[in-house]
Structure 1
């Protein structure tokens, strides 16, 4: 417990090395409540990142935000940040409906963009954004969808334990307690591209895609609960979706933003197909069958707490009749708060146990901008595929994909 408390404390109060010459200066669009966790705190421990400026629709709110978080400059508008030659990178934590517009504007202004998830409102916007010609230019802007959990060591290690060809079923579950949201939040505003799938569901869908290493072929079902007051009825506060992946494997995702009082950690469980394990100790008339189940608890915010459970169920069966002669289980656990703790092929990758997933993400973003090797990345095609999966689910639910927002 002491180690956990120390790690979590350092995550939110990290050491602050001196900033290097040539450090990247960030501007934040919007005084968003997610910005401290997503960028401001991780930037403190990165010697090549300075959070330089913020702008909001309400200047007073931006000033209060800047004062609270030690941001040197407050700009009058988002455009002022984009027009500042001193700003290298833009962080876009605005409501979902504005992601596309301000990512496009930022890229056209020659800025690198860290774009809050989900990247945009729908797959049409994703195709347009990630195929902007500026992004394919030599030394052009870098664009990254900030799906932070994909950069965390525990997920990388968990993925290394899995052969997608052996997967029979994956189930990804997440939640937010009822007291953290309300129907008037932006999460439930259709015109702002709200909905639980656009919020927590983004993580669930990403987990399925990462573990299968493939895209879903079909959304088999998507059951949703939404408010029925005629205002918020197109925004789901809870969903359960089933997808068919290649080779007939099934992926399930479920989340609620109206969950029980106590926040339970997210988890994703992978069930493998039965496999025959050679065992020379057995007579010819018997066969040893293994079925493995792996669960990563806390796959979204792993730095707080996570655990990987591995359960192997073995059955000795009569080869001809299939009758079970003997059954036994073997269980083990693993944690990976750093790549060093994950070990093996990961042992030399950068990071500290107190680095939250956002800090790992920031490391890779800076490396890509600086022209260094990136060990993990979310490609343009990956982000487009993510939005296609979300559209697929929303179509099946009957609520329809989130709307595009036009701008001049």
Structure 2
């Protein structure tokens, strides 16, 4: 039986302020940088956003734990359409705060190949009406925002002219939101009239943010609390992060299992209760990671940050590959202050998958120079994006599985496409977009 993945903090961060001088605390906080919420994706500012023909204000069809989520949808009619006719709903993904639907348009419509129109412009030419679905709080529970997606699907059905079926899906966590929404509708015998479901680099089995970076976010927040807004670890502690991260730590002091948190357990149980995946639609998936099983070359256990400044030392490493009590981070100011080690945790950073530049963003905030190839590591492993048929708590053993000839019963999807190289999570990639357009051609 596999050993339980865990993390152990040898010297607790709690009370650091009392053991260090005010100057020392300030030096450590300064070394960690002064950026806002860590891991929140920066907005897409390049390019123009097409104004929508309609904007729908949406309220979830039911509360989750007493909370009724809200959102909005931007409706972009296809060329020659005066009303909604062939709706494709594309849900926004994981981030902190409200969706920016203009940003979502710019992201998915930016040129991905010379001489090619943007993806959304191509959909318009094909006569497909695009509904961009956003949420007022992207970081709350997936089930809450899924209720907003249910409302969007019902609104699209009500306002559609004719009887063309829908295409419904999303990018990143948006694929999980719509997956749950459609499955819940089927479970409750609500007709979603959806022919195709799609996910774009969605973490069906889980996503990865390095455990040591999660801890450093908490540590920074303890040393340098913000009074003018959310703290550095606000995204990490959010319900959505807890639900979709394979490994999660609750604070800088935490020692114990990293796959055992109540919100993730509840999320997986809820998915099973409603049917796991919607059964009626043809299910498509796209992965920003490669499918050949070869990793990105990041060396497990290697120090990425190794800062020595007077008496201050800060070391943070790529996740080591399994083993027991493998050091992932150290903060010293003279005597040891805080050290962290993991046991039985796979080397996620180097796995094939859609990448996140979490290391690079932190290096920039700290004013550190690191190797360019160390800036980004795996965020959504390819085996997660293609919904490999595995237990969500045990799938990490297959991080490097060759997906090029995967048997049909080894994935929960009907068809999927992997990128030709590991690209940034949710990046608009020619191989993925061209494949998706081909899948929509017969609709």
Question: Scaled by the length of structure 2, what TM-score is found?
Answer: 0.30
Question: Scaled by the length of structure 1, what TM-score is found?
Answer: 0.32
Bigger fraction of residues in helix: 1
Bigger fraction of residues in strand: 1
